[in-house]
Amino acid sequence: MDGITESAKKKLFWACFIALCATSFAFILRILVLGDLAEEFNLSETQRGEIFGVGIWPFGVSIILFSLVIDKIGYGKAILFGFCAHVAFALTTIFATGYWSLYVGSLLGGLAAGAIEAAINPIVATMFKEQKTKWLNILHAGWPGGAAAAGLMVIAMPGDTSWKWKMALIFIPVVLYGVMLATSRFPVSERVAAGSSHKSMLQQAGWLGALVSATLICLELGNVFEWSTTATWSIIAALVIGFGIYTRAAGSILFFILILTMMPLAITEISTDSWITDLMTPEMTALGLPGVSVLVYTMLIMMVLRFAAGPIVHRLQPLGLLAVCSALAVAGLLFLSASAGMMVLVAATLYGVGKTFFWPTMLGVVSEQCPKGGALTLNMISGIGMLAAGVIGNPLFGNIQDHAMDARLLERAPELHARVVGEEQNSVFGSYRALDKTALAALPPAEAAEVAAVKREAQRKVLRTGAIFPACMLVVYLGLMAWFRSRGGYKPIKLDDETATPAATL
């Protein structure tokens, strides 16, 4: 691999692994401290969802933009940007003064995550091009591994520890990967080494890929900057038409199907994980465990299984594995929505196993079926997934809760509803009314318990709604399995194999 020794190759892999751990640290620490921040800054559930979301959708923006140029600027510059953004994320959050400073801090964290993953995915796919799905699964064990490590560190802290000290834990993996990657040598990507042109990479995505990416990015930016509907769609049309004129290709049909499927996949995994600590806290408290226990437990399951991905992928094949995981995720989420006591952990096991192989196996399928797409298709699918979770999933789950609590409390206790439900607010999903944290804090115990019961019902509704997404994925994966079987079975595409074209452009 470009003269890089095996020891240097291993060092580079583990540096990439720790960099992904850092993005996971940022993700889970934001989850773990946001409850404290909601109390301190009187955030609504929808505002919490928006802060979760802005830590996710900028990932999609930065990973896609870096993928367009990363072969020209080099992996090192993308990683340097990610390192600086991670540091800025931590400092901005620690010294936050309200909603907008939290929003900006989360945005920086999302940009950092996108830059890092834009580099590490093609690095690992290039180093292990004969076993891409296996090694991408092992690399992405860094995500649950980092989350579990951060969660356990927070659990080990005294109960009165300030959220600022919890957030400061992010500096541990950030400094470590910064030092390791600063002294690493990077390979030339598989696409560049094979002599495949930059334009052929863009053609694999085509105007269909550009349509999905531009729509998600511009809808969110339009919401943030309050663009008019006409302006938003005009920008989308200009980007897609321009991309289409340059590439003269609609893109790979298979890739288009995969990016559409990646949207419910990301909502199933990322959006649910964003909310699951809050959703499961009442059940965990009843067992004498911290609310984060469910998330840490499922992350540990994911980490262990991803390290053991090789034999599992070999036995089930990538699409078979994705279909099995989708079925388990449906069962796990439905079970979680109806569980209490120790059965929550049983349901969480189903959900944890179900979500384990989603993300890296989808990356493996794209890398194996669209190798000419290089860094762009490999990272675009991650970017679209994160955009979907940030733009759609996280705010949707928060909005479902706000609407359900508003409606059910009005039905059960109109007088109490009038005292604790705030003024109408707006979001991408329309107007809503949220509970006022200050009013809730002043309630007597009996009324507070009544509100808590209504909130618990709303939280269960989120989990039931979430099960719809992996159910849709299961249908798609079964269809793709049948399609590949009709063509002789699933086989990775080699860049020098001109006869194997199941992902050919239109």
With bands split at pLDDT 50, 70 and 90, how would you rate the model's confidence at 3? Answer: low
pLDDT of residue 239: 96
Q: Which two tokens stand for residue 199?
A: 């334009």
Residue 442 lies in a domain: no
What average pLDDT does range 448-462 have in this prediction?
84
Whether residue 453 has pLDDT greater than 60: yes
**30-51 residue pLDDT tens:** 888 888 888 888 888 778 877 8
Helices (H), 226-357: 229-247, 253-266, 272-286, 293-307, 309-316, 318-338, 343-356
pTM: 0.84
Q: Which two tokens stand for residue 394?
A: 């996280």
Whether residue 237 has pLDDT greater than 70: yes
pLDDT of residue 489: 93
Q: What is the CATH number of the domain that holds 84?
A: 1.20.1250.20
d(CA 274, CA 117): 19
Residue 242 lies in a domain: yes
d(CA 475, CA 324): 11
Residue 499 lies in a domain: no
> Which residue segment(s) compose the domain that 329 sits in?
6-402+463-486
pLDDT of residue 335: 92
pLDDT of residue 452: 84
Is-contact 133 361, C-beta < 8 A? yes
Whether residue 499 has pLDDT greater than 50: no
**326-363 residue pLDDT tens:** 999 999 999 988 887 888 889 989 999 999 999 999 99
pLDDT of residue 38: 86
Average pLDDT, the chain: 88
Whether residue 166 has pLDDT greater than 50: yes
Is-contact 331 470, C-beta < 8 A? no
Counted domains in the chain:
1
With pLDDT > 90 as the criterion, what percentage of the chain qualifies?
50
Residue 497 lies in a domain: no
pLDDT of residue 497: 56
Q: Which phi and psi (to 5°) does residue 423 adopt? A: -75, 160
With bands split at pLDDT 50, 70 and 90, how would you rate the model's confidence at 481? Answer: very high
Coil, strand or helix at 33: helix
With bands split at pLDDT 50, 70 and 90, how would you rate the model's confidence at 502? Answer: very low
Residue 298 lies in a domain: yes
Whether residue 409 has pLDDT greater than 70: yes
With bands split at pLDDT 50, 70 and 90, how would you rate the model's confidence at 503? Answer: very low
Residue 504 lies in a domain: no
Residue 419 lies in a domain: no
Residue 164 lies in a domain: yes
The DSSP element (H or E) to which 250 belongs, if any, is none
